[in-house]
Chain A
Amino acid sequence: MKSDTPIIKTTHLSKVYITDIIKTVALDDVSFEVNKGEFLAIMGPSGSGKSTLMHILGALDKPSSGEYVLDGKNVEKLSDDELSEIRNQKIGFIFQAYNLLPRTTALKNVMLPMAYAGVDIPTREQKAKEYLEIVGLKDRMYHTTNQLSGGQQQRVAIARALSMNPAILLADEPTGNIATNQAEEIMDLFKQLNHQGHTVIMITHEEDIAAHAKRVIHIRDGKIVSDTKTK
């Protein structure tokens, strides 16, 4: 299912945080391309800028300079609402901190992106149930987020990211809080999704998780230090 059209293309991307006294360079001249259907792992020590890169790729943040073309569109030129639509339709983002709505059921959390997309309620509920079943939470659908463990919340976040069937799946440490056997299940799911044509990009610091990916990019001090195709 591989295609050579770049779905993600960054050129001289950089991100600088300026406070009153300190200027921090989080990303420094990052240029790379990701084709449709790739399975990419981004690795790097903490503070290397990999999360910042992920946020920019997910259209949650804007670069200080450089250009980011997502599926043929220059992100910088899109309006706020157009970006919301892209996040809703094309990107499934799995946050490191899950970011679920507190005191809300798993089912409602998974239904939320579909609500913003205008999907009708019965379809929303049916799809949300499907995805919760895929991540193994069939019997926890009506639990509120505070009644779920860290790993379960992570899986709700994954189900939510999948709910809109996005072309790109961005995952920030998706297995960080999950036991090894469950992590393998999640990786199998990612591989399966990738096989179906989804582009998967994940951040991880675990070599064995990164080993599932077909391509690994190493980042250090905001710069790409290596970019290797493993498969």
Chain B
Amino acid sequence: MKFQELFIESLGTLTLNKTRTGLAILGIVIGIGSVIALISLGQATQQSIQNQIQSLGSNLLTVQPGGSVGQGGVRTAMGSRTTLTLADAAAISESPEITTIEYVSPELQNRSQVITGSSNTNTQIIGVTSNYQYVHNVNIASGNFISDSDNDSLNKVAVLGPQVVTDLFGEDVDPVGKTIRINSQTLTVIGVTEAKGGTGFNNQDDVVYVPLSVAQKQLFGSNYLSSIALTAVDANSMVAAQDEVGFFLLARHNISDPTSADFSIMSQQDIIKTITSTTGTFTTLLSGVAAISLIVGGIGIMNIMLVTVTERTREIGLRKALGAKKKTITTQFLLESIILTFTGGVIGVLVGIITSFVISKVTSSLFVISPASIMLAFMVSAGIGILFGWYPAKKASELQPIVALRYE
């Protein structure tokens, strides 16, 4: 028989037995769909965990004044000394020798009383430049963050953390345009940051951001910085960045012995380790989930194809008795398997994508679909479907026709 005719014959056989064809397609749809949905779910979880870690600032380096050992062997409290200046920060960002640093954020922190009308709260005041936003991944919920021109022209403006807003103005109030008082200075609120979480001293929401120039000259009367936060260009250049900045500042401060440095650099090595191990664990978990669902889906497809084709051993015997050659029979069953798995495969991919989409909507999580997982699910399932549609047919076509005809 010609190929074209065999194709029509295969289509005919499939449409003739609607229940059998429907069940086989359903098996393939479930096999492929579940694999895609599971992989997508895993990837979405991985993505959201990575995002959360990223929001902590994974490439962060912090330069603080004060060495590891102070004068006379007395170790002074970190940050209590006054050795870092705005000029240091500017030099770091402008130096051509430093290539691994992306953002430089000079900061001056102090706790102070914040007053508005009848309410007041004691909170962290941070003098920042516009770079703070990028270094610490601060997102604005309403209004704007501190800009460079706010710093240049000593604008008395403030950006509040959501906790401060609640403490001063109450729930669900937009304070943009209202005024607050810090150390007898009146500042206008120009923005509110998004909630980041955290508790106690580390509460990233219980904070007031003001322009660095305002903090230095008008609020706290200090020409020094409490820290310089830096971001490396990527997580891999953290060690190089730490060295570059360290040697640069030693040279700038005319210190030849690194052990007597008047500053220290801390990196988020722990966070990086956490990211690496979390990502590693997740990659393993994800591969496991994908492998298991592929096996489960594959076995489902294998079963339905095996049953469908084995059930037709008699038909194969009959076709052979009437003069069909082995190749004609195997080609017909191969074509049927290909049509089945491709139809089921396309529907399965759609079902998988829709399922993951619905799950992401219901659990309000990320919707991640990777073409690689679709390809993998499709290729493996189609491969299994075609193999187990073709192989039993091949075995049956090798039987003596009468043996196949007598098959129960």
Q: What residues make up the interface of A, taking CB atoms closer than 8 Å to B?
A: 55, 58, 60-62, 80-81, 84-85, 87-89, 93, 95, 99, 101-104, 112-113, 115-118, 121, 160, 164
Are B400 and A60 in touch, CB under 8 angstroms? yes
Are B321 and A80 in touch, CB under 8 angstroms? no
Are A99 and B319 in touch, CB under 8 angstroms? no
The CA-CA distance from A58 to B322 in the complex, in Å, is 11
Chain B 386-408 interface residues, beta-carbon cutoff 8 Å to A = 398, 400-403, 405
Asked if B91 lies at the interface with its beta carbon under 8 angstroms from chain A, I say no
Are A81 and B325 in touch, CB under 8 angstroms? yes
Please give the distance in Å from A200's CB to the nearest CB on chain B: 18
The CA-CA distance from A60 to B320 in the complex, in Å, is 9
Asked if B96 lies at the interface with its beta carbon under 8 angstroms from chain A, I say no
Contact with A along B185-204 (1 / 0, CB 8 A): 00000000000000000000
The B interface is mostly helix, strand or loop, or mixed, namely: helix
Are A116 and B328 in touch, CB under 8 angstroms? yes
Given contacts A55-B402, A62-B400, contact A84 B325 (CB under 8 A): yes
Are B326 and A81 in touch, CB under 8 angstroms? yes
The CA-CA distance from A121 to B314 in the complex, in Å, is 25
Asked if B74 lies at the interface with its beta carbon under 8 angstroms from chain A, I say no
The CA-CA distance from A103 to B15 in the complex, in Å, is 11
Choose among B2, B9, B323, B326 the residue that contacts A87 (Cβ–Cβ < 8 A): B323
Asked if B98 lies at the interface with its beta carbon under 8 angstroms from chain A, I say no
Please give the distance in Å from B208's CB to the nearest CB on chain A: 80
Query: A residues within 8 A CB of B370?
Result: none
Query: A residues within 8 A CB of B314?
Result: 99
The CA-CA distance from A93 to B321 in the complex, in Å, is 8
The CA-CA distance from A85 to B402 in the complex, in Å, is 16
Query: A residues within 8 A CB of B328?
Result: 116
Given contacts A116-B1, A116-B322, 8 further A-B contacts (CB under 8 A): A58-B321, A60-B402, A89-B323, A101-B315, A102-B315, A103-B17, A116-B323, A118-B1
Please give the distance in Å from B189's CB to the nearest CB on chain A: 78
Query: A residues within 8 A CB of B315?
Result: 101-102
Chain B 270-311 interface residues, beta-carbon cutoff 8 Å to A = none
Given contacts A55-B402, A61-B402, contact A85 B322 (CB under 8 A): no
5 contacts between A and B (CB under 8 A): A85-B323, A116-B319, A116-B322, A116-B328, A164-B323
Are B322 and A113 in touch, CB under 8 angstroms? yes
Given contacts A55-B402, A104-B16, contact A85 B1 (CB under 8 A): no
Please give the distance in Å from A161's CB to the nearest CB on chain B: 9
Are A103 and B16 in touch, CB under 8 angstroms? yes
Asked if B324 lies at the interface with its beta carbon under 8 angstroms from chain A, I say yes
Query: A residues within 8 A CB of B9?
Result: 115
Chain B 11-30 interface residues, beta-carbon cutoff 8 Å to A = 16-17
Are B319 and A112 in touch, CB under 8 angstroms? yes
| B5 to chain A: closest residue by CB | A115
The CA-CA distance from A134 to B209 in the complex, in Å, is 100
The CA-CA distance from A64 to B163 in the complex, in Å, is 92
The CA-CA distance from A58 to B324 in the complex, in Å, is 15
Are B318 and A88 in touch, CB under 8 angstroms? no
Choose among A87, A102, A104, A121 the residue that contacts B321 (Cβ–Cβ < 8 A): A87
The CA-CA distance from A117 to B2 in the complex, in Å, is 11
Are B321 and A60 in touch, CB under 8 angstroms? yes
The CA-CA distance from A164 to B398 in the complex, in Å, is 24
Please give the distance in Å from B8's CB to the nearest CB on chain A: 10
The CA-CA distance from A81 to B328 in the complex, in Å, is 10
Are A88 and B323 in touch, CB under 8 angstroms? yes
The CA-CA distance from A114 to B282 in the complex, in Å, is 60
| B315 to chain A: closest residue by CB | A101
Choose among A61, A99, A117 the residue that contacts B318 (Cβ–Cβ < 8 A): A99
The CA-CA distance from A102 to B19 in the complex, in Å, is 14
The CA-CA distance from A116 to B323 in the complex, in Å, is 6
